[in-house]
Structure 1
Amino acid sequence: MARIFITGSADGLGALAAKALIEQGHEVVLHARNAERGRDAMARNPGAAAVVTGDLTDTAATIALASEVNKQGAFDVVIHNAGVYQVSAKEIFAVNTLAPYILTCLVQKPKRLIYLSSGMHMQGSAKLNLFATDVNRITYSDSKLHVLMLCKAVARKWPDVYANALDPGWVPTKMGGRGAPDDLQKGYETQVWLATSGDAAAQVSGRYFFHQKERPYNREADDVLLQDQLLQQCAALTGVSFPQ
């Protein structure tokens, strides 16, 4: 049995992944934005061990959330599932780029880290020069490239951790919309597999997956200099340094 923490698990893919992992017998701690959504999360997955709350649009609240997560004890797996799409650029940057960075730095290091990117990252660019000047020009696609860059930086700096990213597909969740064409079940199965599988294909690091298969990705994510600049820019903005 693994101990697993999943951000953004009140609904959507996070809730579905939590349900599948609980059914497999794992101990799952959920995360929701506020107390009301926390109650909803526990109602959806009553077998969960606990729920922690924290608004990822707020840096101070995200830092406080990391402390609450650590009070739950060490985790074997952390799934950075939370993400936003049709909101302001400032919120996209806070939730999709800064929050996974902060939580990666401050939550006790697990054995496996899983980051939800998106196929849309292929159209993104790093735009690191805008972090301190104009985040309103950072797009969803850019933020999901940042997620992949963070994943690859973690895989490089923490060789004792399996850190991988994935594209869940365009699936019919509240975020994806009812008309989304991809398979909802396949949308959460990859993170469940990466979290718990003993398959050699899942026990890798710094890779990018779609439906349990490695996929081509934006090669800008492989630029080590850009990766390190991303960590430095995030540290400057949040006051949270990446642990060496």
Structure 2
Amino acid sequence: MTTTFITGANKSLGYETARRLIEAGHTVIVGARDPERGQTAADALGARFVQIEVTDDASVAAAADDIGAHEGGVDVLINNAGVFGPHIPAEKLTAADAGEVFGVNVLGIVRVTHAFLPLLRKSANPVIVNVSSGMGSFTATHDPGRVEGRAVAPLYTASKAAVTMLTTQYAKAWPDVKVNAADPGYTATDFNGHSGPQTVTEGTDAIVELATIGADGPTGTLRDRHGELGW
């Protein structure tokens, strides 16, 4: 049985990823910062809930300890928790705004990955999936034919570019762990007022694909639901 832990799994992409992986036979642990919403989501899914605030060292350590005590380890870690940041003109963005966005989207991944790596290494096929974005891809954001090429969101895009670089560096550093990044694409979620043309199920295609790779699967890649995406 594959044990999978997902951060930010109480709604949207995280919740749908959890649902699909449970359907695929995974034992899923739902991670969320809000205990009430997290428990409600876990109950609806038939999963176990573990509270985690990815910006807090003590919370992340407690979550890792909890899972270590109950499940003994994890096979798949999905770093899904993320924020978009304020919807304001670029000239009004502050260092405090950047700290909030990078604190969740980048430092949160570093914090969680650091805490969970010992649990992952108990697996015969450890896998990490970092939920990134095509908006962090230089290729996509410089293509005027793509929606990413027309968007202006300095902090979010910069944070997701950092996520993809973290992914490639972790993959080089840990040849025993498969580390990949997933681009959900423009999906109808709370992030965009449910304006995206893709369904939440389509948005989780790349995440689920990367979460279910075998020992011969890829590492150090960024993929969307159509295949590998340029950096």
TM-score interval w.r.t. the shorter chain?
0.7 to 0.9
1:22 alignment partner in structure 2 = 22
Letter in structure 2 aligned against 1:29 = I
- What is the RMSD computed on CA atoms of the aligned residues? 2.1
Letter in structure 1 aligned against 2:72 = G
Residue 197 of structure 2: SS of its match in structure 1?
coil
Alpha-carbon deviation of 1:198? 4.2
Q: In 2, are the aligned partners of 1:57 and 1:91 still within 8 Å (CA)?
A: no
Which structure 1 segments of 5+ residues have no match?
Answer: 125-137, 218-244
99, 113, 121: which one aligns with 2:128? 113
Q: Distance in 1 between matches of 2:224 and 2:3?
A: 24
Q: Distance in 1 between matches of 2:181 and 2:192?
A: 19
Residues 25-51 of structure 1, C-alpha deviation per residue, up to 9 Å, x if partnerless? Answer: 210001011211222222331x21x11
Q: Distance in 2 between matches of 1:78 and 1:172?
A: 24
Q: In 1, are the aligned partners of 2:182 and 2:222 still within 8 Å (CA)?
A: yes
Residues 140-175 of structure 1, C-alpha deviation per residue, up to 9 Å, x if partnerless? Answer: 111111111111111101101111001101111112
Alignment of 1:122-201 (within 5 A): 122=137, 139-198=155-214
Alpha-carbon deviation of 1:185? 1.7
Letter in structure 2 aligned against 1:165 = A
Aligned CA distance change for structure 1 residues 80 and 187 (closer, same or farther; 3 Å): same
Residue 50 of structure 2: SS of its match in structure 1?
strand
1:90 alignment partner in structure 2 = 99
Aligned CA distance change for structure 1 residues 58 and 198 (closer, same or farther; 3 Å): closer
Identity %: 37
Residues 73-97 of structure 1, C-alpha deviation per residue, up to 9 Å, x if partnerless? Answer: 2111111111111344322111101
Residues 205-226 of structure 1, C-alpha deviation per residue, up to 9 Å, x if partnerless? Answer: 0011010511111xxxxxxxxx
Q: Distance in 2 between matches of 1:119 and 1:93?
A: 17
Aligned CA distance change for structure 1 residues 212 and 161 (closer, same or farther; 3 Å): farther
Q: In 2, are the aligned partners of 1:171 and 1:177 still within 8 Å (CA)?
A: no
Q: In 2, are the aligned partners of 1:172 and 1:180 still within 8 Å (CA)?
A: yes
Q: In 1, are the aligned partners of 2:54 and 2:112 still within 8 Å (CA)?
A: no
Q: Distance in 2 between matches of 1:183 and 1:22?
A: 19
Residue 4 of structure 2: SS of its match in structure 1?
strand
Letter in structure 1 aligned against 2:64 = A
Which structure 2 segments of 5+ residues have no match?
Answer: 87-96, 140-153
Alpha-carbon deviation of 1:199? 9.4
The TM-score with structure 2 as length reference comes to 0.79
2:54 alignment partner in structure 1 = 56
Q: In 2, are the aligned partners of 1:123 and 1:141 still within 8 Å (CA)?
A: no
The TM-score with structure 1 as length reference comes to 0.75
Letter in structure 2 aligned against 1:170 = Y
Q: In 2, are the aligned partners of 1:55 and 1:61 still within 8 Å (CA)?
A: yes
Q: In 2, are the aligned partners of 1:62 and 1:99 still within 8 Å (CA)?
A: no
